[in-house]
Structure 1
Amino acid sequence: MHQKHCVNPEESLHQQSWFKLAVSAVLIGSSTTALANGLTLNEQSASSAGTAYAGRSSSALDSSTIYGNPAGLTKLRRSEVSGGAAILAVSDDISDVRSNASGTNKGDSVPTAVIPFGYWSTPIDERLSVGLGFYVPFGLVNDYESSFQGRYFGSYSKTRIITLQPTIAYRINEHLSIGGGPTLNRFDAKLQNNLATGNLNNGKETLVTIKGDDTAIGYNIGFLVDFNEATSWGVTYHSKVSYKLKGHTEISDSPDFLSLNGKYSATVDLDTPESLDTSITHHFNDRWTGYLGTTWTRWSRLGKFEASNSNVSPIGQAAGLGRVGEQLNWHDTWSTAVGASYELNPQWLLRAGFAYDPAPVRNADRSVRIPVANRKSVTLGAAYSPDTDMTIDVAYGYLWDSEASVNQSSDSGLQPAYSAKFNSSAHGLALQLTYRY
């Protein structure tokens, strides 16, 4: 039989203080890392993936230019439907673990993901074109085993944004086109942490779960300059989007003497960062084309965040469940990419590319939820056009991060300190079908 845990008022106050520190860390870590994986999802097009997305804002390969550069629609002279999906298989190895907690470190915590996308466009006349795009610009899934040693700083994370973008583009003259449109964005998130309350709670660990969702409006705009028949330059701006996630914070299996189990209505305000993509496309001759691009992302938007819970009892207020916040240390990044394509014959086009994407999080701020580091990727791709009405694009990419050090200190006995080294890599495969009519 388990012996009932009894506490005196002084001990109860002490444990509430511990719980306040731990729950604050959970809420802050969960809410602010929902999007702070440091990197957006790039998988909005298989045709752009083949060159590591170099030239995405300066090349209108198909109607996926709605995302890459809306102004590019003016280059598509026929109506078309284009869509497909990317599959990502991620591997992460954990080593050099140091923690006072018991548990395992199996790694490979990211399940295989399928990321869909689809586009439609049509020219209205020689100058005006319209279109509609569907894509996933941000996403994260991280599901550690239940016995993961670092589960007190992040045991499960799933966030996803799905975007719908109506678009209009206009060719001002033979050299300059502009385009843009609003984005309707749906954000869903679920995050979990454990708390080490086993010695206070008959061996049971407390589980903190946060769920929330919101729909918000943003916009994408771009312009495209054709200097001549050989060289194009494009710039695309993806706006920030401000969300007010509404849902609940649920605490289960907390010690009875704290009386904190239950659901609390929760709201979290956050902005996803804006980005500016610019690139150059140059046709060296009838067969060879080169692409060079860079993207600035304003990750410093992820600064101070605050989670607010309502319907919290006085004990819950004392335990820190009412309102918590913290200043983070994210910084803006510049990523770069270079690529090339070669027209083998009228039916086949071959592609290759390389990209470098630095992480916006320093070693001191990295968490087990998103243990990313500076990232490199190489890609290969091909386009097959059996006739002028159809093109099938396929691309393969291999991505690898520099070794990432995670050092998360213990603010309370409910979150044992955890440090480790993460080595992550991924294989990606994208397929796209474009039909013109």
Structure 2
Amino acid sequence: MHNNFKPLSLAVAVAAAAVSGQAMAGAFQLNEQSVSGQGTSGAGRASSVNDATIVHGNPAGMSFLNRAQVTGGGVYLTVDSDIDNASGSASGSNEGDMVPNTVIPFGFYVQPINDNLHFGLGVYAPYGLITDYEGQFQGRFFGDRSKVEVVTVQPTISVKFSDQFSAGFGLTYNQIDGELTANTQGGPVGFFDQTGAFTPTGVAGEGDIDVEGDDNAWGYTLGMMYKPWEHTTFGFAYHSEVDYDLEGKARFTNVRGTGSPTVVPGLGPVVPVGTATQQTDADLSITLPAVWDFSVTHELNDRWTLMAGAAMTDWSEFEEIRVENDVREIVEAQNYEDSWQYSVGTAYQLNQAWVLRTGLTYDETPIKEDYRSVRVPSDDRVIFSLGAGWTPMEDLTVDVAYSYIHETEASLSQEEENRGTYEADYDNTAQAFGAQVTYRF
């Protein structure tokens, strides 16, 4: 469907828990667009110019690259989720580890047009997640499987006004795909008589709801970079919100009370329940939030460089997931709040060929405790990173990085009339292994 529907899956999936990418940023936002930046935990993302990944970090930074170059790589994410103290109205298991190992790729290109004008192009994933619980997961009535993939293509221009100041602007074309599934409780089936009284004739087993769709939409990014002193750089980048109107399909299998009742002479309308699958068009409108990114980079001397940053994501616009369809109402309240991410990092130039990096990030969750769900059972997190860059020749650099992500224990308690109850404590950790190659020509 359109991005709206995807965000539905996305949002729901987002709420679903630590997606591979979710382990790196609040909710289902991803930070895996640069391995050189990963080494400092994203500190200095908008003010440090290392390679072509600056196209995403701050388009204004392209002006400080004096050669054409291409950077490509990826981050391998592995997530470990333990579920403890689980209880609920349904029976079932709580195995955890519902996030599969995932690789998030990216690629960037920068081409100087003249001394003051640069062109750049980036392909990356700003949002995404996959959560897939076991078949008899105890909380399956609140969420079973969630999958969201967002791919962005970003053509960009930067202008260098002086040796101290530059600005950049880029359009973003965003493609989203997603799927959301959940089980539904079984119940009595039968018919209504002429007086409106219900007569049961049997019991239906558990049902299933599957919603999927895709969309594409445009956004933009802009940035500024200022060097008031030779060794100090300030950076600001803004990534706009993106509005999606997803269109897709919703499938209902063995779901009680779906569709139009069948009228039986002498009995009245019979409740439509069965194993047959009923499919309908579905629509979802959703807005993925804007991000404001501020950072500073300071070169202490020829070897040491310090970086710090703060980024705010306007998650408060994400209030609910509402899937419009002709069969059954699907609404999940989110009520997110704006969140901040704070990071510090350093780089040490060991020699002409090697640079070593490290960084630490504190990442606030946008999810309020009262609205935490099995779809996104996450809380505040701390990210510690190590990295290194190797330049064996002037034209080539290889960067590697490792990040360890630890979340505060996330407790959730859900209760709905048609879904029952489910309570549990989630303990989420993740590891990220990144590698990228930059070639200059």
- TM-score, structure 2 as length reference: 0.87
Q: Please state if 1:33 is matched with 2:34.
A: no
Q: Distance in 2 between matches of 1:328 and 1:373?
A: 14
Counterparts of 1:28-427 in structure 2 under 5 Å?
32-35=11-14, 38-197=27-186, 204-255=205-256, 257-259=271-273, 261-309=277-325, 312=326, 316=327, 320-321=328-329, 325=331, 328-412=334-418, 415-427=419-431
1:244/1:270 contact within 8 Å kept = yes
**For residue 217 of structure 1, what is the amino acid of its counterpart?**
W
Offset at 1:64?
0.3
Task: Output one character per residue of 1:243-296: Cα deviation in whole Å (capped at 9) or x when no partner.
Answer: 001101110123493258411101100000000000000000000000000000
Report the alpha carbon displacement of residue 226 of structure 1 after superposing the two structures with TM: 1.0
What amino acid sits opposite 2:152 in the alignment? T
% identical aligned pairs: 39
Alpha-carbon distance in structure 2 between the residues aligned to 1:384 and 1:31: 37
How far does residue 410 in structure 1 lie from its aligned partner after superposition? Answer: 2.7
Query: Mean alpha-carbon deviation: is it higher for 193-202 or for 385-394?
Result: 193-202
Q: Which runs of 5+ in 1 are unaligned?
A: 1-26
RMSD (Å), alpha carbons:
1.9
Q: Residues of 2 paired with 1:305 and 1:156: CA distance?
A: 16
**Alignment correspondent of 2:196:** none
Query: Greater strand share, 1 or 2?
Result: 2
Equivalent position amino acid for 1:210 in 2: V
How much does 1:308 deviate? 1.3
Q: In the alignment, what sits opposite 1:10?
A: none
- Number of paired residues? 399
Report the CA distance shift for 1:103/1:32 in structure 2 as closer, same or farther (over 3 A).
Answer: same
**CA apart distance, 1:326:** 6.2
CA contact (8 A) 2:204 2:254 kept: no
TM (norm. structure 1) is: 0.88
Where is the helix percentage greater, Structure 1 or Structure 2?
A: 1
Partner SS for 1:258 = coil
Displacement after TM superposition at 1:236 (Å):
0.3
Q: Hey, what does 1:23 align to over in structure 2?
A: none
Q: Could you say what secondary structure the match of 1:373 adopts? A: coil
Task: Note the C-alpha offset of 1:40.
Answer: 1.1
| Structure 1: distance between partners of 2:204 and 2:320 | 35
